[in-house]
Amino acid sequence: MKYKFVIPGNPVPLARARINPKAFFNNTGCKMWDPQKELKLITAIHLRNQFEGLRPLIGSLHLTAIFYMPISKSKSKKRQEEMQGSYHIARPDLDNMLKWICDCANGILYTDDSVVASVFVQKIYDHEPRTEFSLEERS
């Protein structure tokens, strides 16, 4: 069975957890925090709403993801049309964007992202930025 999901808005890469430098240098202990906690919550809500009432996926999964990246408004109309549908080869990095999906889907779509056994991912320019991905159970 195949499940499709859409997350509206600019695709998000996973950021590293941060260390509070003042706490580190003042010897008051290493305090870490997640700078994307609110964004993860919003993404999780989108996924829960689309997956409502279904059981978490099990077994080996195939993930197909397409990140539709925004086209700069400063480009000419002609250049914007040329860019539409072409590959996006600038930051953010594809692997960090994939990690974002896997991290946010953990505990909602599947119990652990270790069950994702194969992946196909693309970054493409589009006038409507969003993330679309599907999960397919494979035996």
**String of DSSP letters for 68-110:** EEEPPTTS-HHHHHHHTTSBP-SSSPHHHHHHHHHHHHBTTTB
Tell me what pLDDT residue 41 has: 83
The percent of the chain in helix, strand and coil, each rounded to the nearest 5, is 30, 35, 35
* The two three-digit tokens of residue 119, written as one number: 């992946």
Residue with token string 């930025």:
129
Q: How far is CA 122 from CA 3, 11, 16, 22, 38, in A?
A: 18, 12, 22, 39, 25
Number of other residues whose CB lies within 10 A of the CB of residue 58 = 10
CATH for 123: 3.30.1330.70
User: Along the 139 residues of the chain, how does pLDDT read in single tens digits?
Assistant: 899 999 999 998 887 666 666 655 555 566 666 667 788 888 888 899 999 888 899 889 999 999 999 999 999 999 999 999 999 999 999 999 999 999 899 999 999 999 999 999 999 999 999 999 999 998 7
Structural domain of residue 24, as residue ranges? 2-138
> DSSP of 113-128, one letter per residue?
GGGEEEEEEEEEEESS
Tell me what pLDDT residue 8 has: 93
Tell me what pLDDT residue 29 has: 61
- Number of domains the chain contains: 1
